[in-house]
Amino acid sequence: MTAPTVEAAIHELMDLAWNVVYDLLEQRGLLGDGLEVGEYTGIHSWVEGLTRYTVVHSREVAVLFVDTRPVDAIAFHHDLLGADDPKAFFTLP
């Protein structure tokens, strides 16, 4: 169970762009586990310059948002959480 504010932030990001998130998951072959928004329980966010990066993840999938736009999805692994540059795990446009 996640804290209500974390849960609200995850739902806000995912709900705003669910069609794009779905397309990213489909393109990467990641549909299946981790598809339900309620399965996403982790969020990590940071700012670089004028850009906010946010990773939202379930136990199976991680989605990178640049500001509020989802840009990539990968299979989740724990190395992502402790990385100096988590966005390096993703492909940026």
> Nearest-5° angle of CA 31, CA 89, CA 24?
30
Tell me the mean pLDDT in the region 49-53.
96
The mean predicted confidence, pLDDT, of the chain is 88
Task: Please give the structure tokens belonging to residue 46.
Answer: 């940071």
Tell me the mean pLDDT in the region 40-66.
93
The set of residues, in sequence order, having a beta carbon less than 8 Å from that of 62 and lying 6+ positions away, is: 55, 56, 73, 74, 75, 76, 80, 89, 90
Task: Quote the pLDDT of residue 87.
Answer: 94
Task: Please give the structure tokens belonging to residue 91.
Answer: 């492909």
Nearest CA-CA partner of 30 in 63, 75, 80: 75
Q: What percent of the chain has pLDDT over 70?
A: 90
86 pLDDT band, cuts 50/70/90, is very high
Task: Quote the pLDDT of residue 33.
Answer: 54
DSSP-derived secondary structure letter, 87:
G
Which residues pair with residue 74 across a beta bridge?
Answer: 62
Tell me the mean pLDDT in the region 57-75.
94
